[in-house]
Every structure is written in C-alpha cells, then in structure tokens.
Chains A and B, each alone.
Chain A
C-alpha cells in the first residue's frame, strides 16, 4: 500500500471548483427563494432587480426594465444555459469537473450529480411559475445537500478532500456576503413603523434563506437589531454559513494540507486566511453598519478571492514548479522518486 496517493494539480483544482459550483447552485436557489418571499404586490420589479444587482449582472440586461421583470430574471437564472451565473450553467460546470474527476470521486457521487444535472437541464418555463418556483428552489437546494451527504459518507479523505472543502467554504463565505447585501439593495418605506415591519420581514427572510433563523432566535434578544443579524451572518463562531466559521474551517483544511499531507506551499494561503479572519473581527459591527456595509462586503469578497488565488498559486494549474533536481533512481525499490521543488 502507498502511504498517500498522489494528486494531480489539475484534479486538485477540479475538486475545488466542483465544490464551489455546487455550493453556488445551492446558494443561488436560496437567493431566488428569498427574493420571491420579498416580492410584495406592486413591487416585484424592485426585488428581482436587487437579485440582478447582487449578482453584478446589470450589464447583461439591455434595459433596467428587463432586469426588473420577474419572468425575465427567473429565466435568466434558472433556464439560461449560456448565462455564467445561472443554475444550469453552474451545474454543467460542476458536472464537467466531476467527469474529469471520476477516477477520484465515488461512483455514488458521480451518479447523483449526473441525475441532478439531467433534472436541471429539463426545467421548463412553467416550473418557474407561482408556487412551483419555491418547490423548484427547494428541490435544487436539497439535491446539493444530497450531494454533500453522499460526499461526506463516501469520499476518501486524502488531500483531494481538503481541496474539495476549501472550494466549498470559500464559496459559501462569498455567498453569505451576497445574501446580506441583498437586504441593502432593497428600498424600505420612509414611515418609521412601516419601515420597522418591512425590515423585520426582510431580516427574517434572509435568516431563513441562510437556514439560520432558529439558531438566531435562540441567541437574539426579542428586539433584535440589524447589527445582530449582520453580526450573526458575518461572524458567529458556530453558525455553519457564517463568513467567520467558513474562513476558520478553510484555515483548518489548509493547515491539514501542510501538517498531514506535507505540502509546504500552503503557507501563503494560510496567511491570507489569517488576515481575512482578523479583518472580520477587527471592527465593531455597529461601526461597520454605520459606515458603508456594501463597501465592507465588497472588501470581504475581494479578500476571499485573494484566498482562492493564493490556494491556486500554491497547488493548481497556474502553479509552475520552480527549478527541479532529478535525482537518479537508486533501484532499491523505494517507490517513485519525489522531486522537490526549490
């Protein structure tokens, strides 16, 4: 038996991106579901154009009206195979990665992605109407959760697992910042009491979309504030979709790569994760909210993308090994010769 199977850089990258795209699919389904619950009579356009804004997709619509037309937007994210931010596109990408990874992932993982992919490719315009939309979003969400469960139960815990987890966690943190951002993209009534009620509804919907509603209720005071919700989503130490916990877990997996799998190149990425974690805890939440929350979230997104970049430079395809020394084989049956990079 070999101590540890080697992992191709390309496959490490494939695992990272497969996990990222699947996490993105789940979060997009959550976002669409929450937008639908924000939708109130006469104000549909606002809700759907908010979704377009947080996905940074405004440019892809010819007119502002198009970006606010519920049906157009729904089709854009649930049916359009050519839109890189749509669910079918992301799932196609995840499956293509899974296809290249078939020697590494379990047969059960591959089979489930394959069946899920077929389901999504067959979504019809009528599936986006009325109460069917919410059911569709739920089914998509649950399919990714099924994937997660199968993966947890069947995937071999070599370095590939660490890269899979990194992709998933970085994407999850990024998506949570977007979910929080959506609240700030929506207009609220000027009247104080109406505004309080509207905001309460919105926060509840955001928490529900993030599957954090009940946990939050157990923690929060009866009269909770925006600060409490933002703080919960950004830096609760135990909430599985909080940005802080995702970053901490990413840090853990990078550390595993260094300690257990002896990959010294993990250091840069670890430093990047440490910096991001400190950034999240640096300022009191109240100060963040009084300032520019959107700008703050943007900054978190940039730091996450830098973390992904550092991981890529250390291990993936764009990582070019430095000067190599190629020691002659000694012929003593010690297995393959490992070439250390300078």
Chain B
C-alpha cells in the first residue's frame, strides 16, 4: 500500500519544460516538497474523489460561466486542478514590480496619445498604429482623467520559458476577467484540501474587493465624502456574470444594468425604490462600444444614453476609461519595451516575448528567413484568427504566409514558439505535467497594487499550449509564499 502511494510522482517527467513545483528554488521554503509529500500521503484515488467533490461544490454554488445555445443554458465550471502552483517570494517580487512598471507605462502612454502625442512626434511609435487603430477613441482627446489613470484594472498574461524566465505575452487593459476565480479557488482549496494548505504561510487574496472599492472611491468626481460606486454589467446572459456578482458583493456596491441607470442634466442616477440616486463611479464590465448608444453603437440596449456626456462633464468616473484598447493591441504590444523606456527611462523588469515587427526592415527580413520556426500573427485580429504556426505549417501554408508578409508587412508580427512552463496536474492517467500561464490583476487608483498571485490557467490536454477556458482549460490555486515579507 505504501509503495503504491509513493508512486504518484514516479512517472512525473516535465522533460525540457520548467516545472513550477518540482524545479527547486532557493527561497521556496521547502513548500513544494511538503506539497508533494502531502499529495503522496493522500494518494491519487482519494485525490480524485476529493477533486470531484470539489467540482460538484462549484456547480452547486453556481461558480460557473454559462454557455447559451438555442434552447438550453449550460452552466460550466472552470475546471479546478487541486495541485497548487507555487510562486516564491523573489519570483513574486519580480512579477509584482514588472506588473506595476507595465501598468504605469500604459497609463503614461494613454495620457500622452490622448493629449500631445509626444511619443508619436518623437518617432518612437508610428502615427497610424496609434491614430489609425480601431480602438483609438477620438472622443477621449484632451480629456483629463483623475490621477492620470486610464487603466484601473489590468490583467497581464505572463508565461515562463524553458529557462524559467518570465515573459509578458499580452496586456489586458479593457475589461479583464478571471479575478473571481483567483479568490474562489483559494476558498475551495481551504475548504476541500485543508491538509495541503495547513501550516503553509501564503499571501492572502481576500483584499481584492476592498482595494477595488478604494480605487473606485479615489477616482470619484470631486468632493463627495462617500461616493456611490456601482458595477455595470451586461446582465445574466454575459458569460462573466458570476464574476460581476462576485465583485459587486466583495465591494458591497449595487450590481446595475444599463436599464437601471438614467442620465439627467449630465448626471448619472440609478432607479431605486426610493427614487433616483446619484451615481459617482461606474466600474463597467461592458465594452466601449456598448456604453452609450448616443456616442457608440446606436442599437446597443445594454448601455446608458448620455453616459459619455456625463463623463466628459466630469460628473461621473468610469473604470476603465474609454479608449484603453489601443494600449493592449498586438501591434502596440510589440512597442511596449520602447514605451517603458520612453516614459520611465527603465528597462522592462519582465521582457516581452521576443517580437519581430514586420513593418521594420530588420524584423521582416528575420521573419522571412525563419518562417518555419516562428508564429506569424496579424496585428489587427484577436482570438487566434489568421495565425500561422511555422513549425506546424505545411509548405503551401508557409508560402501563403510569405506572400502575405511581402505584400503587406505592416499587418504582421512574428514571435518564436514558446515552451510554456508546466506544473503537476491531476489527469485521468495520474499526475502529469501540463502547460500553464499566469494572469496577475493590477488595480490602480491613485497608486498601483497587485493582487498576490493571479489566475493560473492550465491546459488540461497533454502537450497543449492553449489554456483558454473556452478550449477546455482549467485553473489552479496560485500560492505566493509569504516568506521574506
């Protein structure tokens, strides 16, 4: 029996990939070893039974995203893997500093391009990339946001290569989601696997709601002692609706929909049982396009007519600000190291994934020479459309990509294939390595704060690099060790 128990990691082989649990780190405080010993003691069968019970618990609690088809609504959970991902204090210091630097630079960049646009005049970034960008909002020009903060909530996708180096893959500066799972995963871990967490000093994740509420209070328009904050959601049919509920509850503010709000005399009010109540700050989980039918999509039923007028009149604060999408665009991403240098005079604390900008001669030449090793991405698209994965493409596909690159180099960037790090994950075959990433969440009002940890998304299929929940990805509890603080 004991022999059988000690075998649970016997076949575990992360190969060339960096392993987030088994790779020894000087300041890990022995926690990864402790976790492995505890998992051995539980045994794989008991682990599986408890994992199943934990997932049932998520369904019962409705910690789900909803997939709607013609007649049915299916509630899906984000699959929870019970083996935690461990981040050491020094690793966290780097992630935290890197995330703060990134968000500071993004806010400086947005402030600049919506005012003087010095960065364009100085030739650091091409004008058409900024002003010709579909997410650039002319309505934002010459409008001052409080504390210079445009991106109040930012999710930064970070991966780790074979060398164990962190790299930023993407910035999410519009309405990033996933933070509710960070907190719910921790609660689930404590509830269902107290024997794994027992005695381990972890940075807590429960402060997020308070920090978010504080930031929303800080950005409220002038001189209101106790400003009314609300969370604006598209409603129950939105796949992230659970998160909207979660955040409204954690902040202790009303969860409103567009139809609950009304603008009169350029002021925003909500309809309550006792009449109209003034609203000062809106944490909106609605895309720019849907916010105000008077300014953006006239057919939008989700928004509030006159909202942008009220905002420009300085009578209500919006988080995130309108027009932040220009900063997290793929084409602009490639310029982020230069943007950081330009505004902060610093080197990036966490590097981008090496990115070749094909509008530049050098980047194009390199890309054409190494076509079969690179991932070729169109700059304007999102969601994985139009991507050619060199190492997996046929000759004909490579030639099509080559022709497209030569015809219109400005539309393309290229990046090397990245070997994402792995962590032990409970699978049907036992415990095996699965690829993962990390999305820390960054809140900025007057100052910037990073929630310790973040959402660890894990590809549940062997060898898969796709961690998205829509593609069967799951998540893990992310432990930031408290040592050194």
Q: Which residues of A contact B (CB under 8 A)?
A: 2, 6-12, 96, 99-100, 102-103, 107, 110-111, 114-115, 159, 163, 257, 261-263, 315, 317, 321, 324, 326, 329, 331-341
Contact = CB atoms under 8 A, between A and B. Distances in A.
A340 B267 CA distance: 15
Interface in B261-277: 264-265, 267, 269-277
Contacts of B273: 6-9, 12, 159, 163, 257, 261, 263, 315
B254 A336 contact: no
Which of B255, B260, B272, B273 has its CB near the most chain A CB atoms (within 10 A)? B273
A96 B277 CA distance: 26
Which of B62, B223, B241 has its CB near the most chain A CB atoms (within 10 A)? B62
B236 A99 contact: yes
5 contacts: A7-B274, A103-B248, A333-B224, A334-B225, A338-B274
Given A326-B267, A329-B224, A110 B259 contact: no
Contact of A103 (B225, B249, B257): B249
Nearest to A316: B273
B249 A102 contact: yes
Contact of A6 (B60, B248, B257, B272): B272
A329 B223 contact: yes
B226 interface: yes
Given A102-B249, A257-B273, A338-B275, 4 more contacts: A10-B271, A111-B60, A324-B276, A333-B225
B44 to A, nearest CB: 29
Interface of B: 59-62, 222-228, 235-236, 241, 245, 248-249, 254-257, 259-260, 264-265, 267, 269-278, 280
B227 A336 contact: yes
A336 B226 contact: yes
Nearest to B230: A8
B63 to A, nearest CB: 10
Given A8-B254, A107-B61, A102 B245 contact: yes
A214 to B, nearest CB: 35
A136 to B, nearest CB: 21
B313 to A, nearest CB: 13
Contacts of A163: 273
A62 to B, nearest CB: 22
Contacts of A115: 60
Given A103-B254, A321-B271, A326 B265 contact: yes
Contact of A341 (B62, B224, B276): B276
Nearest to B66: A99
Contacts of B276: 321, 324, 339, 341
A338 B277 contact: yes
B236 A100 contact: yes
Contact of B275 (A102, A110, A114, A339): A339
A114 B225 contact: no
A336 B227 CA distance: 6
B224 A8 contact: no
Contacts of B248: 103
A332 B60 contact: no
Nearest to B279: A336
A236 to B, nearest CB: 32
